[in-house]
Structure 1
């Protein structure tokens, strides 16, 4: 039996680190992504110590730069023989100064870029490897915090507020989850999104001035379940609130809104046309 290979983005702290430490005890290969090489090396050493039967490789990239996203994907395709799981966990939260609008390397609103465009681009680039390794699973770490996308101001150039930007980007991630799951039906690659836990004790929560109410471990368990539970092998295109298969924001079920989002997304990541579902 092949040992599973799993890629975790944003693995140097918080939920990503917790997922990596949990999976370390299960064996296989972990591919850890981070944007700071010192912290990435430190968490890789920590994961190796936690799981003596685990192989660990690291990938450095700033996901606010789509060129770096594509370069990392190219390195993975060149280096890794298989990919059984992908956890899109890296996140740009509400920010320390929620009224300061920040931009990505390509000039897109930062939360939309990191929380939606980057995982979309990474998913698409790695689909050949995921498909060749099927059954494989993509888990998109979203949030219960979801806010309707205004297609007249997707990049929030008017009345910017960081938490609102975060909530819109997480809804975009969920909408893209549903679209990709439809596209990949029958391929053996599943795609699901989840809200792992409410206000976990993470740096992003504290940076925004919010008070944590749950531990990181409470978010790790439902996330790892989506990745490993044999009963979920064929479950795809769903949004989970921790362990509950539930409904996301109503806009996520609006086919026209999803198609508008996908057309915009393809254009922004340089994939005009694409193979996403139409209509």
Structure 2
């Protein structure tokens, strides 16, 4: 059975994924920000809970330090949604735009820190939960200081995460570690969707099926560098495939996280 870390596992899709993987007998490390909810799902699944606030890069590093060697699967699922209608621009603990910090910088840094701890002798996987809602990322205004909008901020952060996934796949070519990303389903009944005041479209079960497939399906053992819309391979926004954009985004990111 695999050792799997799921971020954002105390609610919504992450919690459903944790329950499903526990039923399959996998060993789970579950991250969450809310201590009470995290303890509840850890007790339900027999998993090891690790509390951290991913809006802080210091806490991302602390989370990474708590993960043992031999990690088989990393699921970067935690995220911040659109926010309440009309909500203003928010900043992370490090002074960065909040959605960029949690949805992109945190999984970027966590993945980089955990790569040395991932299994090398057997196939391992990185699964990044992205979104079909993508918008071009403005390298000249990464913190969205001009004309802020929560939906725009969310979609830009997910575009950045997809681009990073493609970078990872290239970096890890020739190893047994794969990196893929997906849009699990549209507007599932989760806390972030309810907070945004948007209506629901898809069921949580639909998103769970798509995500679970990337985590455990043996037919995908050697598949890497792909974006999936649900269970179907799809094409992300063109910018995510642009090598020059990805190079500039990578340089910006490394400067922001202080590596």
Of residues 51, 66, 69, the one that matches 1:75 is 66
1:259 aligns with 2:257: no
Q: Can you list the C-alpha shifts for 1:86-132, whole angstroms capped at 9, x where unaligned?
A: 11000100111444100011111000000000000000000011143
Contact 2:88–2:148 (8 Å) recurs in 1:
yes
Corresponding residue to 1:204 among 192, 216, 238:
192
Write the distance in 1 (CA, Å) between the matches of 2:126 and 2:170. Answer: 13
What does 1:113-262 correspond to in 2, within 5 Å? 113-132=101-120, 134-262=122-250
Which one of the candidate residues 47, 53, 57 is aligned to 1:66?
57
Classify the secondary structure of the residue corresponding to 2:61: helix
Helix, strand or coil at the partner of 1:132: coil
Residues 69, 118 of structure 2: 8 Å contact kept: no
Q: Is the 8 A contact 1:99 1:160 kept in 2?
A: no
Q: Distance in 2 between matches of 1:65 and 1:217?
A: 31
**Counterpart among 82, 98, 104 of residue 110 in structure 1:** 98
- Structure 2 distance, partners of 1:98, 1:140, is 28
In the alignment, the residues of structure 2 paired with residue 75 and residue 84 of structure 1 have an alpha-carbon distance, to the nearest angstrom, of 15
Aligned to 2:37: 39
Q: Is the 8 A contact 1:131 1:187 kept in 2?
A: no
State the partner residue of 2:2. 4
Q: Give the paired residue count.
A: 259
The residue aligned with 1:18 is 16
TM-score by length of 1: 0.91
The answer (yes or no) to whether the contact 1:85–1:138 under 8 Å persists in 2 is yes
**Deviation, structure 1 residue 217:** 1.1
| Aligned partners of 2:186 and 2:201 also within 8 Å | yes
The runs of 5 or more residues in structure 1 that have no matched partner are 49-55, 272-279
Deviations 1:20-67 (A, max 9, x none): 01101111200000012111101111223xxxxxxx111110000000
- Report if aligned partners of 1:82, 1:133 keep a CA contact under 8 Å in 2: no
Note the alpha carbon deviations across 1:183-225, whole angstroms, 9 max, x for none. 0011100000000001111110111110011111110111010
- TM-score normalised over the length of structure 2: 0.98
Equivalent pair of 1:117/1:265 in contact (CA under 8 Å): yes
Runs of 4+ aligned residues of structure 1 deviating over 4 Å after TM superposition are none
Q: Is the 8 A contact 2:15 2:41 kept in 1?
A: yes
* TM-aligned CA deviation for residue 81 of structure 1: 3.8
